[in-house]
Amino acid sequence: MDFSTLRNLISRYCAGEENWVDSRTVYIGHKEPPPGAEAYIPQRFPDNRIVSSKYTFWNFIPKNLFEQFRRIANFYFLIIFLVQLIIDTPTSPITSGLPLFFVITVTAIKQGYEDWLRHKADNAINQCPVHVIQHGNVVRKQSRKLRVGDIVRVKEDESFPCDLILLSTSRDDGTCFVTTASLDGESSHKTYYAVQDTKAFNTEEAIDTIHATIECEQPQPDLYKFVGRINIYLARDEPVARPLGSENLLLRGATLKNTEYIYAVAIYTGMETKMALNYQSKSQKRSAVEKSMNSYLIVYLCILIGKALINTILKYVWQADPNRDEPWYNERTESERQRHILIRAFTDFLAFMVLFNYIIPVSMYVTVEMQKFLGSYFITWDDDMFDEELDTGALVNTSDLNEELGQVEYVFTDKTGTLTENNMEFIECCVDGHVYVPHAICNGQVMAAAAGIDMIDSSPGAESREHEELFFRAVCLCHTVQVKEEETVDGIKRGIHQGKATSFYISSSPDEVALVEGMKRLGFTYLRLKDSHMEILNREDEIERFELLEVLNFDSVRRRMSVIVRSNTGEYYLFCKGADSAIFPRIVSGKVDEVRARVEHNAVEGLRTLCVAYKKLSHIEYEEVCHLLSSAKLALQDRDKKLSEAYDTIERDFILLGATAVEDRLQDKAADTIESLHKAGMKVWVLTGDKMETAAATCYASKLFRRSTQILELTTKRTEEQSLHDVLHDLSRTVLRQHGSMIRDTFSGLSNEFQDYGLIIDGATLSAVLKPAPEGGGGASGGNYKEIFLEICRNCSAVLCCRMAPLQKAQIVKLIKASKEHPITLAVGDGANDVSMILEAHVGIGIMGKEGRQAARNSDYAIPKFKHLKKMLLVHGHYYYIRIAELVQYFFYKNVCFIFPQFLYQFFCGFSQQPLYDTAYLTLYNISFTSLPILLYSLIEQHINMDILKKDPSLYRDIAKNSLLRWPIFIYWTFLGVFDAVVFFFGAFFLFDNTTFTSNGQLMTTNTQMMFGNWTFGTLVFTVLVFTVTLKLALDTHYWTWINHFVIWGSLLFYVIFSLLWGGIIWPFLNYQRMYYVFMQMLSSGPAWLSIILLIMVSLLPDVVKKVLCRALWPTTTERIQRMKADRHFERVMTFSHDSLLEGAQSSSEA
């Protein structure tokens, strides 16, 4: 049942106030409010236990068996096994039961072990110690025993055990610094604030005296949103109400930094924490190949039932003639005669099902499991995917999806830490048209050769010097950077200079650090924030102090931030920095054209640009600003809207100072990887929680967007100006203008004949697009928005989704998965915020970066760097797919060849269910005689050299959309199997129908007659069968090694030796009655040898002819490259031979 729906119904019809039910009241320290203040209604909340495991000790066996028998093949073999147990069948139950038991047991052990590891990880988290304040004392308890309302103490470098509201910190200003690397991949420090009225309670005794309640919304997954209020009961009866927002909420999994300790109250626990709500359940993923196998299995099941039905009907038609009833020596008992004809017919039908059951190969599933498991080691052993910096290579967490790596159509990637290194470098700044470029400044690390300052253009004159210094001061003051004085942070020594500890900068935004560092190299050093005063060291080594009065924080809609400061002389300044689009419209004076030209130049280079402006405030204006801000901040309703209006009023009439340019370094070869993925026909989407400008700059730098790309925006800013309906239809008309309603092909993204489009969408707009249509809302909204949005996306070569919550990333992936083309999706990310997306996609890949290993642990595959994705898909994915596609088709083919002669044989044995082959041959055909060659092929086959696959990504398109397992190819293999089976059976039948073709070609006499009975006939057919299917695989093999030769020819030799042994030739005590001397007798006949060779050649001929014609007339890209490679090899051989002949002739003449 949907509990949110139930809550809404209760609130609507009972309470009459919908929002009331959707909120919770938390009593801090479990203290009741004062009498008469408000009703005390204790609520039940879950404990703090985290559960990521799938099974328990009690439900493992039934649940696992249920999941395994949901697979069609397993269920089918179970039914066949039960039939063999119940009725008298031509073959033993062991032939079906043993392989089934093996598959079920191996799979159960594998899944049980994986779940045991999840249990182990859960226990480690749930038993982690936390410190709780009770009656003024610190009590240590396990994390799982934490309850909503408990007051928790967290020390520096500890992680938060649940979602907490910050009450007080060790700092006097009530702030603390947090890294959310394990949540959103950001390694930078973010600032959080304690409630103003509780920040003074910073000891165990004091915090225990707080009397307050918190009213807040029920748990919801948006990491960036929180609405609540705290009611603090002081001496007087009326409580003091203070608003609570996301700046007060500490999320589970984040880590406390640069703050000695904090006190906070548990607000959401266990599976109700925001990160737990963002985790998708880990469902079993199935590959496209496995789905194809299941489809083929159903077809072959229908063929099997059809065969059994035909034989059953024909048996009773044949026996209708009294002269053709069962022979006297096999006369049925009276009880058998008494049985109803329908029961007899049903029993015969089941017996035929068991006889022909081998057409569905249980061994194929065992071979596929082995191929996937062993094949996965090629990824882990790949030295090209080993990263020396991290000292680790690629990991395979699940081998079930290897071949899916060769079928990817959409790649969804995170930005920070995945495409980029999250390492900002200050490039330049421009003041009134003058450009300043310091040498390499990078996140507090002064690189080599950074002593000087390069000035590009001419230096400013004396008149402009004041503006220049004001710009440097503005950048030094307009930020939220903190100064760290210690030697180490996160265990890494930083800021060490000549053996002494020096300060360095930390911030929630890495580019702020780069800007402040850039100013330091240009002569203005930000020293610290102390007692609400910001201190700067200027070029004359004088310390300037500015009182920090207000901070107007950055938000994605305004796209700017401001500070209001007061200088030593008493002047009020408002400094503002932000995106050019957010600053230029608010400028009233300054050298706008010069600065705009430089900003546009840097934007084209893919740099992150910010504009800086200021204005002076009089004391009266400052008082008005304070009044505006305080009234907006205290509003409990529409707080965000009122703050936005206040900011809009304050931030205007600026004087432009200049602009800055910062580069977020891309990971090595990230742009090359994305370009290769595009050429391979994949569409790449970037899903990030970052702001739009930053993400867009990265997309340009990584070649996701090119200079010719026309950017389409579907953002909050645009939907505020126009309705969502109008914006979507405008965009739809734009992308379809050139080609009517025709949807561009997936692979036309790089074509020059189309205008390239890139779409940018933000999280808020996406929510509106995905919002379900209200009942009776009409067709123009809701559900239709998804279709229009998808149509726009299909026609865009790249899509950027910014300001995304973790669950929204998963929703995007799910939306594309469910679209009518049902494309194969891949998600790649490095943070815990990417886990939902990784679990939702068909294939999930985690980057083992600096931001923890949660993404890597929850992924199907883990790689050290984004660049390794290229080889994983274009080489490993390509090989895995062509190998397993051949394996699946070949298995069905060789089983048709195997069992169709058995079907034909029933027409010649009175439909008596007589097996054509001996029991040993029936059992060992798939297990021993033909299993190893195809297993080895599926592990080491390389139809094209891997260097060519890397250099030419377009080869990936040859295998796209499951092209090697389509129905026409499947039908071809099936008919090829039927043709070969007919050749085996009737070839052997007609060759030996003439009785003179026996005993080494001599005419038969009474003394020399050698009875070619049914076992000899069956053995002859079986011999031709084994040699034909093995040589068919040899013809398909392109990559020959000594192992191939050993296994292919060794398998044929093993068959011959086994047959000789089984016939009792070498060891007479093995004289198995019906096969005694049969094989030797067959080989003693010259015509038998001739017929074996002839039948093998006739069977292989159609496939060879078909291949030659197809390669000559309709070659694929892959086949063209194979032919070019063969031609080059032939030329080298001929040249070498020619040179050898010339050398020989020359040496002869000299002699």
Which residue type sits at 857? R
Contacts of 181 (CB under 8 A, 6+ apart): 187, 255, 831, 850, 851, 852
Q: How many helices (H) and strands (E) does the chain have?
A: 39, 41
Q: Are strands 500-501 and 496-497 parallel, antiparallel or unpaired?
A: antiparallel
Q: How far is CA 488 from CA 158, 405, 515, 526, in A?
A: 16, 42, 22, 20
Q: How far is CA 176 from CA 130, 167, 259, 704, 1043, in A?
A: 19, 11, 6, 37, 63
- Please state, in angstroms and rounded to a whole number, the distance separating the CA atoms of residues 977 and 967: 15
Among residues 941, 806, 829, 805, the alpha carbon closest in space to that of 885 is found at 941
Among residues 287, 370, 22, 223, the alpha carbon closest in space to that of 804 is found at 223
Give the DSSP H or E segment for 578: strand 572-578
Token pair recorded at residue 842: 């068909």
- Please state, in angstroms and rounded to a whole number, the distance separating the CA atoms of residues 43 and 22: 13
Q: Tell me if 218 sits within 8 A of 801, measured CB to CB.
A: no
Number of neighbours of residue 381 by Cβ within 10 angstroms = 11
Token pair recorded at residue 718: 């645009």
Instruction: Name the DSSP class of 35.
Output: T
Measured at the CA of 587, the angle between CA 586 and CA 592, to 5 degrees, comes to: 135
Q: Are strands 798-802 and 683-687 parallel, antiparallel or unpaired?
A: parallel
Q: Tell me if 248 sits within 8 A of 195, measured CB to CB.
A: yes
Give the DSSP H or E segment for 457: none
Token pair recorded at residue 212: 């307050």
Tokens 């909420």 belong to residue: 249
3-state helix, strand, coil in the chain (%, to 5): 50, 20, 30
- Please state, in angstroms and rounded to a whole number, the distance separating the CA atoms of residues 671 and 999: 73
- Please state, in angstroms and rounded to a whole number, the distance separating the CA atoms of residues 517 and 475: 10
Among the listed residues 184, 414, 664, 860, the single catalytic one is: 414
Q: Is 401 helix (H, G, I), strand (E, B) or coil?
A: coil
**Does the active-site annotation cover 173?**
no
- Please state, in angstroms and rounded to a whole number, the distance separating the CA atoms of residues 480 and 473: 14
Rounded to 10 deg, the angle between the 1086-1113 and 1117-1150 helix axes is: 110
Rg (CA), the chain: 38
Q: Are strands 683-687 and 410-413 parallel, antiparallel or unpaired?
A: parallel
Measured at the CA of 6, the angle between CA 4 and CA 11, to 5 degrees, comes to: 95
Contacts of 377 (CB under 8 A, 6+ apart): 396
Q: Is 435 helix (H, G, I), strand (E, B) or coil?
A: strand
Contacts of 808 (CB under 8 A, 6+ apart): 687, 763, 766, 767, 801
Contacts of 272 (CB under 8 A, 6+ apart): 45, 46, 219
Q: How far is CA 408 from CA 289, 295, 825, 948, in A?
A: 13, 21, 6, 19
- Please state, in angstroms and rounded to a whole number, the distance separating the CA atoms of residues 753 and 749: 10
Q: Tell me if 351 sits within 8 A of 322, measured CB to CB.
A: no
- Please state, in angstroms and rounded to a whole number, the distance separating the CA atoms of residues 278 and 225: 13
Tokens 């030769």 belong to residue: 1045
Beta strand spans in 880-997 (E): none
User: Mind telling me the catalytic residues?
Assistant: 414
